[in-house]
Amino acid sequence: MTTRTLAVVSAGLGQPSSTRLLADRLADAAATALREQGADVELVPVDLRDHAHELMDNMLTGFPGGKLREVLEKVGRADGLIAVTPVFNASYSGLFKTFFDVLEPGTLEGVPVLLGATGGTARHSLAIDFAMRPMFAYLRAHVVPTAVYAASEDWGSNGTAGGADALTERAARAGAELAAVIGGTAPAVKPDPFDEPVPFEDLLAGR
């Protein structure tokens, strides 16, 4: 059976964190849909708070230290990514951006991505479309159409429009979209330029 790896990155700062709560919910939905396709699923949860110092050190020194190095490698090898941030000042948080700023260029090219965001009220939900989507478009990720925003009230209400059931439904739809894209692509195999260098004759010829 094929094993599909899903990196689940949360930039939540609280412990516990509603951003992590949403990330887990999206991960469950995507994993369920992938299992329905007959795949095994391995989840790689990443809480950026745990790597906050290492991320800033990476900014300053240019290399990822310690555990962050392993995390970046794992995210780079994943078949899909779920990325969830709290909305700060009409955008993703600085911590969230920093993580994607230190990720090696090209890492997310063509990688299926599901976006999520959390905030105090529904007023901030467009941050997904106005801030997150352009960044992931720049990174050439394959972002699925449905993204999920959860405001505080979504965690307590049910039945009514915009309530908990609606959140469950949206998560299920988004997860199914992500699973469909992942299912349609071969498992991630990235060529390693250190194993297979471009022959020098090609470099000399400007190829």
57 binds another protein per the rule CB under 8 A: yes
Strand, helix or coil at 92?
strand
CA torsion 1-170-149-9 (nearest 10°) is -10
Enter the tokens of residue 75. Answer: 């995210």
141 C-beta neighbours (distance < 10 Å), count = 22
Q: Binding string, 131-170, against another protein, x = CB under 8 A? A: ----------------------------------------
User: How far is residue 89 from each of residues 3, 52, 123, 150, 167, measured CA to CA in Å?
Assistant: 38, 19, 12, 16, 23
Of the residues 62, 105, 145, 191, which one makes contact with another protein according to CB under 8 A: 62
Of the residues 1, 38, 61, 105, which one makes contact with another protein according to CB under 8 A: 61
| Minimum distance, C-beta of residue 206 to another protein, in the bound complex (Å) | 6
CA distance 86 to 95: 10
49 near 86, Cβ under 8 Å? no
Stretch of residues binding another protein (CB under 8 A), selected from 27-35, 53-61, 88-96, 127-135:
53-61
Of the residues 1, 60, 186, 189, which one makes contact with another protein according to CB under 8 A: 60
15 binds another protein per the rule CB under 8 A: no
105 binds another protein per the rule CB under 8 A: no
- Compute how many residues bind another protein; rule: CB under 8 A: 20
191 binds another protein per the rule CB under 8 A: no
123 binds another protein per the rule CB under 8 A: no
User: How far is residue 69 from each of residues 51, 55, 195, 204, measured CA to CA in Å?
Assistant: 10, 10, 19, 33
187 binds another protein per the rule CB under 8 A: no
For residue 3, the surrounding DSSP H or E stretch is: strand 3-10
65 binds another protein per the rule CB under 8 A: yes
* Residues in contact with another protein by the rule CB under 8 A: 53, 56-57, 59-63, 65-66, 69, 193-194, 197-200, 203-204, 206
